[in-house]
Structure 1
Amino acid sequence: MYKNPAQPLGTIEGFFGKSWSWQERSDHLQFLARYGYDFYIYAPKSDAHLRRHWQLDWPAETQSELQKLRHQCHTLGLHFGIGLSPLDIYRESRENQHRSLRQRVRQIRSLQPDILCILFDDMRGDLPQLAQLQLDLVHLAASESLAHRLIFCPSYYSVDPVLEKVFGTMPEGYWQALGKGLDKAIDIFWTGEKVCSPEYALTHLHRVRELFQRKPFLWDNYPVNDGAIKSSHLHLRAFPYSHHQLHNQLNGHAINPMNQPWLSQLAIASLIAAYEQGAQYQPQQTFDRLAQELPGNTMAVQLHQHLGLFQDQGLSHMSDAQKLALIEIYRPFTEQSQSAPYAQEIIQWLSGEYVFDPACLTE
């Protein structure tokens, strides 16, 4: 299986909307280990203790579940990460900013994460001296953390103009200041030319490398489907052919999955194939294999038949009668152990149980 310590592959649970259950996370770790992934990062936008109320420690029950996840990661040979989004930290005085962040990082340290992410994505960015403010905070977090890897997500993590439209004009020289001032041991998340980039041109990645004075750590927003438009689609296809070129171009590659953990496996498992097979990688053949391998051969025919309907057409272009007919098609598969969780997610999606979270401002 693909293993490259210089360019680890894994997932970051970093989406808006309906979050995964603890059992679904545990099952996801089993899947990651089986397919040869390196890490899992816990950073759901729905966890208020990582975002809206980030200064507050988790309740005992949540801490216990996170300890179990960390233990399971290590048992399976995976690295465990936590992603902290210090929302509105700039509203506090510098002294309070530092005190609050120092205290929270120490609390997180008790979980002994291998990876700590300090995430300034999806929050206001049109502030004077933004780069220096963030550099100070990230370096402070690094000084308090015992994690062997620290990853920083800037407020402007793509050249996509939607970020300035939603979060304000990026301060002049922001990226250059980060590249020059950030400790070279700290990685920088990047999503490509778009917030949800379908592909990554090597010329673009090389420019980003020069800008940040290090290879980017890719935050890949496929197959995530938490946006206003994307939430009505299921992203099941394999990663595109061009992903085979990403070997040795990055400091790491983190996949942001869908709100549907089991169905996300189809796309996620394909990335390993792209890295392993290089120029021999064939996305359609890979999907064909995974459609039989994951939910089981019995449901593969239906997945092939409805792939365009689920991924391209989406819920917004289906009639109620069409949705009900599809539910009846997939209902029998919920009684078969291997295909059951995949079929259940399709039925839940068709039934409107994955509601768009308007807190997701980018698409």
Structure 2
Amino acid sequence: MIPELGLIEGRFGRIWDEAERGYVVRTLADAGYGFYHYGPKADRPLRREWRVAHTPAHSEALARLGAEVRGAGMRFGIAITPVGSTHPFDDEARADLKRRVADLDAIGIDDLCVLFDDLRGDMPELAARQADVVNFCADLTHASRVYTCPTYYSDDPVLDLVFEQRPQDYLGEIGRRLDPAVQVYWTGEEVCAKAIEPAHLERVAGELGRPVCLWDNWPVNDGARMSRFLHLRAFTGRSADAAQHITGHAINPAIQAHLGCIPALTLPMLYDQRERYAYGAAFAAASRALLGEEFAAMLQQDIAALQDVGQERLGARAERLRARYRAIDHPAAREILRWLDGDDLMTDDEVQTQ
């Protein structure tokens, strides 16, 4: 059993251009992915400046993306993070939400995502107010599916450290108050989960009163620490038996559009092959399919340096890697060169301001 697979473009960092995103759409659609949710943190009219509409040019670009996604056989969704709409959830907030949901509907969406991830949690009646906002938007939108992501989207105690201690019974209350049709994104036991097991998902579903849609933070590599590494390896620590406990499995992509499709292609293999799945063989098959035999073999040789050592510790190896990948005329090779040159490395300030 393969659950509905998708991509939630919900990372920090550089926004892909249309060519990069188009490549990802085509590649994932061909691999059997079923939905694409657009919501990069750097798209300010969807987050920090959500009350302000996209420019006409940007709205047209998103409409083209939606048409491309649907043309490839996937559902298209847009994610909005309505910062400050819950406290107070007053007439002004309702008017702004009504206008912005109409804007997104006009672009053309199958799915609407109303997200609260990475927002402060020390607010009174947090679960109740967030559920009110989501239900309000769900009643307005023409989209046939609605998703949300709570502020505490994992058991990970780092969320309590960064966003204040989560309210008691936060997950249970938000589950009871949300419209039963709303799907809830969840990352697992950790923000970047090393493993996602059926027993954990079953427990969370019981607490929330519904199965979750996985927001899998692999191969995402945003932020000041993770952007120093290329996330290339195939999926590990994910059980195919999780399928019976979730509504879908969405991945959060890497900054590097072409390279990130290598691990993306291994997720359907994991579910399809089950106990026959081997992550090394899956990486080899996916990289050969996307890069060709010679490039894939080279990447296999260098994967430890690129994924484990990291950009800042390569030393003299960096120039040798530049020479190797400069000789390859391929967008993925150019992504490696860009990363080696530090062009996609992020800072903490970027994350805090996006």
Common fold: TM-score over 0.5: yes
Distance in 2 between the 1:23 and 1:293 partners?
19
- Pick aligned residue for 2:332 from 338, 342, 346: 342
Partner of 2:45: 49
SS at structure 1 position matched to 2:122 = coil
1:192 maps to 2:188: yes
Asked whether the equivalents of residues 246 and 275 of structure 1 are also in contact (C-alpha less than 8 Å), the reply is no
Structure 2 CA distance for aligned equivalents of residues 323 and 66 of structure 1: 37
Secondary structure at 2:190's aligned position in 1? coil
Specify which of 331, 334, 351 is matched with residue 326 of structure 2. Answer: 331
- The structural deviation recorded for 1:244 is 2.3
Match of 2:244, SS state, is coil
Equivalent position SS for 1:294: helix
Cα drift, residue 208 of structure 1: 0.2
Once residues 347 and 8 of structure 2 are traced to their aligned partners in structure 1, the CA distance between those partners, rounded to angstroms, is: 18
CA distance in 2, matches of 1:235, 1:117: 26
Is 1:293 matched with 2:289? Answer: yes
Following superposition, the deviation at residue 360 of structure 1 comes to 3.2
* C-alpha distance in structure 2 between counterparts of 1:93 and 1:84, whole Å: 16
Once the two structures are TM-superposed, the CA of residue 188 in structure 1 deviates from its matched residue by 0.6
| Within-5 A mapping of 1:270-285 | 270-285=266-281
1:351 corresponds to? 341
Q: Say whether the 8 Å CA contact 2:60–2:107 is kept in structure 1.
A: no
Shift of 1:18: 1.2
Of the structure 1 ranges 238-247 and 224-233, higher mean CA displacement relative to structure 2 is found in 238-247
Residue in 2 that maps onto 1:337: none
Unaligned runs of 5+ in 2: none
How far did residue 265 of structure 1 move?
A: 0.6
Query: Does the 8 Å contact 1:219/1:253 carry over to 2?
Result: yes
Whether the 8 Å CA contact 2:196–2:237 is kept in 1: the answer is no
Query: What TM-score does the superposition give when structure 1 sets the normalisation length?
Result: 0.94
> Structure 2 CA distance, aligned partners of 1:121 and 1:325?
40
Where do 1:143-154 residues align within 5 Å? 143-154=139-150
Task: Choose the corresponding residue for 1:360, options 334, 348, 351.
Answer: 351
CA distance in 2, matches of 1:275, 1:149: 24
**1:67 maps onto 2:57 in alignment:** no
| 1:118-133 pair list within 5 angstroms | 118-133=114-129
1:268 aligns with 2:264: yes
Q: Write the letter of the residue equivalent to 2:157.
A: P
Residue 9 of structure 2 is aligned to residue 13 of structure 1: yes
User: Cα deviation per residue 1:265-294 (whole Å; 9 max; x = unaligned)?
Assistant: 110000010111122111111111112111
In the TM superposition, what is the alpha-carbon distance from 1:103 to its structure 2 partner? Answer: 1.3
Given that 1:241 and 1:282 are in contact with CA atoms closer than 8 Å, whether structure 2 keeps it comes out as no
- Matched with 2:207 is 211
Q: Is it true that 1:101 corresponds to 2:92 in the alignment?
A: no
**Runs of 4+ with >3 A deviation:** 90-93
In structure 2, the CA distance between the partners of 1:242 and 1:73, relative to structure 1 (3 Å rule), is closer
Percent identity between matched residues is: 37
Contact 2:50 2:81 in 1 (8 A): yes
Compute the displacement of 1:248 (Å).
2.1
The partner residue of 1:229 within 225, 228, 232 is 225
What is the Cα deviation at residue 357 of structure 1?
4.0
> Counterpart amino acid of 1:110?
A
Give the structure 1 partner of residue 317 of structure 2.
Answer: 322
Q: Is the 8 A contact 2:86 2:130 kept in 1?
A: no
- Deviates most, 298-307 or 265-274: 298-307
Contact 1:266 1:287 in 2 (8 A): yes
Q: Show the 5 A alignment for 1:81-120.
A: 81-90=77-86, 92=88, 94-120=90-116
Normalising by structure 2, what TM-score? 0.96
1:247 aligns to what SS in structure 2? helix
Q: Deviations over 1:193-243 (max 9, x none)?
A: 100002112111111010111111100000000022211111111101543
RMSD (CA atoms)? 1.4
Q: Distance in 2 between matches of 1:63 and 1:158?
A: 32
Give, in whole Å, the separation in 2 of the partners of 1:279 and 1:149: 33
SS of aligned partner of 1:53: coil
